[in-house]
């Protein structure tokens, strides 16, 4: 079972990927998380990657494709969160033979609100949302008790750029998988619990 999740920033790909990974025992690959781990290091590569990410732009293909290939080597059950995100990356998935691509559709107005209310712990391991998944104690991670912070690229100016990039570069990917007849569109606007129910139904249908 090889699934990719497509959708704009803030559409809930990360949350859905984590849940799918747990329910269906799939390896969860988030290119955003891999890149954020990479930029914590003080290397020339990390400085280069950070420039793109802080501006809300996509990093060049060769950085991502190579990592994805290495991570997926010999794996047969996985869910991809944040890859592919542009047409060249989509073409590279020919080699992985994806079974199902789930597109989470959410209008821009909802995304702007959602992204501004996202928080994560200082280690970047645990995610929260001020409305959907608030921590028990405001501003403090339930698990490691560190302070909750906002992702650098979740500020209004960068959010605007990320949405622009999404419409320009990622939307053609939706059409690409539509033509391949493996795309299923899900309304990502309701509460994440409802969205997950709909996603699970689609995955189960596929497994039947």
Q: Contact residues for ligand AMP (CB under 6 A)? A: 9, 31-32, 35, 52-53, 56-59, 64, 82-83, 85, 89, 153, 162
Nearest CA to 170 out of 97, 79, 95, 106 is that of: 106
Please state, in angstroms and rounded to a whole number, the distance separating the CA atoms of residues 100 and 79. Answer: 10
Q: Which CB sits closer to ligand AMP, 56 or 186?
A: 56
Q: Which CB sits closer to ligand AMP, 58 or 100?
A: 58
Q: How far is the CB of 58 from ligand AMP (least distance, A)?
A: 4
Q: Which CB sits closer to ligand AMP, 73 or 208?
A: 73
Q: Which CB sits closer to ligand AMP, 105 or 138?
A: 105
162 by Cβ neighbours in 10 Å (0-12 / 13-18 / 19+) ranks as buried
What is 12-35 written as a DSSP string? SHHHHHHHHHHHHT-EEEEHHHHH
Q: How far is the CB of 102 from ligand AMP (least distance, A)?
A: 15
Please state, in angstroms and rounded to a whole number, the distance separating the CA atoms of residues 52 and 5. Answer: 22
Q: Which CB sits closer to ligand AMP, 54 or 205?
A: 54
Residue pointed to by tokens 């104690």: 137
Helix or strand or coil: residue 116? helix
Q: How far is the CB of 166 from ligand AMP (least distance, A)?
A: 9
Q: Of all residues in this chain, which one has the CB nearest to ligand AMP in the complex?
A: 32
Q: How far is the CB of 55 from ligand AMP (least distance, A)?
A: 8
């Amino acid at each position: 079972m090889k699934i990719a999740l497509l959708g704009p920033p803030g559409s809930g790909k990360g949350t859905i990927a984590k849940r799918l990974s747990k329910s269906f025992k799939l390896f969860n690959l988030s290119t955003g998380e891999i890149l954020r781990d990479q930029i914590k290091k003080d290397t020339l590569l990390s400085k280069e990657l950070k420039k793109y990410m802080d501006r809300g732009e996509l990093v060049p293909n060769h950085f991502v494709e190579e990592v994805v290939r290495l991570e997926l080597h010999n794996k047969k059950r996985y869910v991809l969160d944040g890859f592919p995100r542009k047409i060249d990356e989509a073409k590279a998935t020919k080699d992985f033979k994806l079974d199902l691509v789930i597109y989470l559709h959410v209008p821009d107005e909802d995304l702007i609100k959602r992204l501004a209310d996202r928080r994560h712990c200082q280690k970047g391991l645990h995610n929260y949302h001020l409305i959907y998944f608030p921590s028990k104690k405001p501003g403090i991670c339930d698990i490691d008790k560190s302070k909750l912070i906002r992702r650098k690229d979740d500020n209004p100016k960068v959010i605007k750029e990320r949405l622009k990039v999404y419409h320009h570069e990622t939307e053609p990917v939706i059409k690409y998988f539509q033509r391949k007849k493996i795309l299923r569109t899900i309304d990502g606007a309701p509460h994440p619990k409802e969205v997950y129910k709909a996603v699970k139904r689609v995955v189960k249908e596929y497994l039947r």
